[in-house]
Amino acid sequence: MQKLIIKIKYLHTKDYLVGLCLVLILLSSGCKTKNTENKAVSESEIRKPNIIFLMTDDQRWDNMGAYGRPEFNTPNIDKLASEGVTFDQAFYAVAICMPSRVTMMTGRYNSNHKVGFVAPEDYTLSQADFEKSYPALLKKAGYRTGFIGKVGFTVTDEATRPSTPDNHLYKQHMGSVFDFFAGSETHDRNGIVMWPEQDKGLQEIYKPRRENSGRTLRTGEAMLRFIDTQPADQPFCLSVSFYAVKHDNNKDVYMPHFEQFKNKDLSVPENWVAGDNPDLPEVVKDNARGVYLHRQRSSTPELYQKLVRRFATQGYSVDEQVGFLVEKLKEKGLLDNTVIIYTSDNGRFQGSHGLFDKCLLYDESVKAPLIVYDGRVSKSDRQHRESALISSVDMAPTIVSMAGLQPPTSMQGRDISGILNKTQPIEEWRDAVYMEDLFLVGMFNKRYDENVIAINQKLINDNKSYRSRGVRTSRWKYIVYYEHTPRIEELYDVIKDPSEQHNLAKDPTYSETLQTLRLQTEALYQKAIQ
């Protein structure tokens, strides 16, 4: 620029004035560009995205239109899916509520955080570990944080057992992390802890014996209350944990929504089994809770329809709240800077494989619905289905990264942002997800006994343990019941056999594949416990 001015001095007067004006324009333009760039950077740093993490309870991945079953009538979730990224190969690292919730909040495997229902992994979550969860990290970074719904785990000063104490002391142990809280352990009808205590809106929502109200509707109203009380100059992170679709009695189902399903026959999965399933491993048939619960709740066509109609009703109630949420974000002008993540804590067999319940590592239990809507991204860039293998352990590091933070080394999952925006080379992504089931109903029934470790060892010695671990690749599912002697293995080609009906573990044709997956499972387990 100085050279240009020197050259201009040697021009004729008229030309000099023109040239000088040109220099001044260029200088002004340069300064403006620089200032504009600085301003843009500053605004980018300040305007962090709002993040809403929506989790249902026990919602099987295919119980919604977005995953191929429109009979469940979930138009708002389906729309969220069509306008965002829908993951077709997302899986739970553990498929039972308490440890699954802790895994998604901390980004750690069950074998690592050791929060679960049964010994030896039956600890509470320590305050120090909770301080490294995604809500705590975002709170420290200036986010307003909220939690609504089912907590499902307990935070204590130090990790202690058993993990299900009588008093959860939410305000004492979570008050420093959540600015807004309306939660309980299992049912909000049994009483709810909430703060800010002076919030009249919350008090009205959870007023005892309130007429024409269901648990999902109350959760939705509290969710909207959080948005309505959100300061305009602060980003927020809201975690909403619906109590639905777990349980199916009248007091947990919003019966006005049941009308559309009460006479409707829903489709039956091809691997649904009437009565007992002779093809299950003996240790599962003899000991797993899902076997006898299936006899009671889903083993006949009539029982199946009764059950699934009520799950569909609750899914519809949740869907309605998702619609209200999106409309509220639009009304407040927040949608274009908000990320919405929709998933569940685990699946549900609903009679598939001759099982009710969850936990076991078949896809009906471990496959997850996962939808990510990012309002910051243009429609053309955010609308697609994704086949990359995703684990529930990825949720926490992804949320932390979306907030512009570095995930702590304690988080074992991966940030999936590169998958979302298609910058992650898929050949460098994982080729398998690790899963584990550490639940034994025999231990659950004895969880308050003082000698739980001895009881656990006796179950193992008596060959009654069906604890398992395994991997899921894009083609294979491998499961090993590792505490059984001899070890029991299952191998499925999930492309040819998506319902996991033909165990190939003893077929010599697949011995090399079996050995590869054995080693991969062990290697991933060793990483999980580090």
* Residue 46 pLDDT: 58
E-assigned strand segments in 207-295: 236-241
* Residue 7 pLDDT: 38
* Residue 472 pLDDT: 98
pLDDT above 90 as % of the chain: 86
* Residue 209 pLDDT: 82
What confidence category does residue 312 fall into, taking pLDDT thresholds of 50, 70 and 90?
A: very high
Q: How many residues belong to the chain?
A: 530
* Residue 40 pLDDT: 41
Give the separation between CA 206 and CA 186, rounded to whole angstroms: 15
Give the separation between CA 401 and CA 418, rounded to whole angstroms: 11
What confidence category does residue 14 fall into, taking pLDDT thresholds of 50, 70 and 90?
A: very low
* Residue 189 pLDDT: 79
Instruction: State the chain's mean pLDDT as an integer.
Output: 92
What confidence category does residue 261 fall into, taking pLDDT thresholds of 50, 70 and 90?
A: very high
Supply 37's token pair.
């760039």
Q: Is the pLDDT of residue 284 over 90?
A: yes
pTM: 0.91
pLDDT tens digits for 347-392? 999 999 999 999 999 999 999 999 999 999 998 899 999 999 999 9
Are β-strands 85-91 and 384-386 bridged in parallel, bridged antiparallel, or unpaired? parallel
> For 34-43, 52-61, 75-84, which range has the lowest pLDDT when averaged over its residues?
34-43
- pLDDT, average across residues 299-303: 98
Instruction: Give the closest residue to 314 by CA, choosing from 243, 381, 391, 402.
Output: 243
Q: Is the pLDDT of residue 72 over 60?
A: yes
- pLDDT, average across residues 296-325: 98
pLDDT tens digits for 127-148? 999 999 999 999 999 999 999 9
* Residue 336 pLDDT: 97
Give the separation between CA 259 and CA 255, rounded to whole angstroms: 7
pLDDT tens digits for 398-419? 999 999 999 999 999 999 999 9
- pLDDT, average across residues 180-208: 93
Q: Is the pLDDT of residue 427 over 60?
A: yes
* Residue 41 pLDDT: 40
- pLDDT, average across residues 181-204: 92
Q: Is the pLDDT of residue 301 over 50?
A: yes
- pLDDT, average across residues 110-135: 97
- pLDDT, average across residues 31-45: 40
**How far is C-alpha 54 from the chain's CA centre?**
7
What confidence category does residue 124 fall into, taking pLDDT thresholds of 50, 70 and 90?
A: very high
* Residue 525 pLDDT: 98
pLDDT tens digits for 431-486? 999 999 999 999 999 999 989 999 999 999 999 999 999 999 999 999 999 999 99
Q: Is the pLDDT of residue 69 over 60?
A: yes
* Residue 466 pLDDT: 98
Residue 526: other Cβ atoms inside 10 A: 10
- pLDDT, average across residues 2-15: 39
- pLDDT, average across residues 502-509: 98
What confidence category does residue 174 fall into, taking pLDDT thresholds of 50, 70 and 90?
A: very high
Contact present, 383 and 82 (Cβ < 8 Å) = yes
Give the separation between CA 368 and CA 361, rounded to whole angstroms: 12
* Residue 212 pLDDT: 77
Give the separation between CA 408 and CA 137, rounded to whole angstroms: 9
Residues sharing a CB contact under 8 Å with residue 271, sequence separation 6 or more, in sequence order: 352, 353, 364, 499, 500, 501
Contact present, 337 and 46 (Cβ < 8 Å) = no
Contact present, 126 and 115 (Cβ < 8 Å) = no
Contact present, 454 and 486 (Cβ < 8 Å) = no
235 exposure class (CB count in 10 Å sphere: 0-12, 13-18, 19+): buried
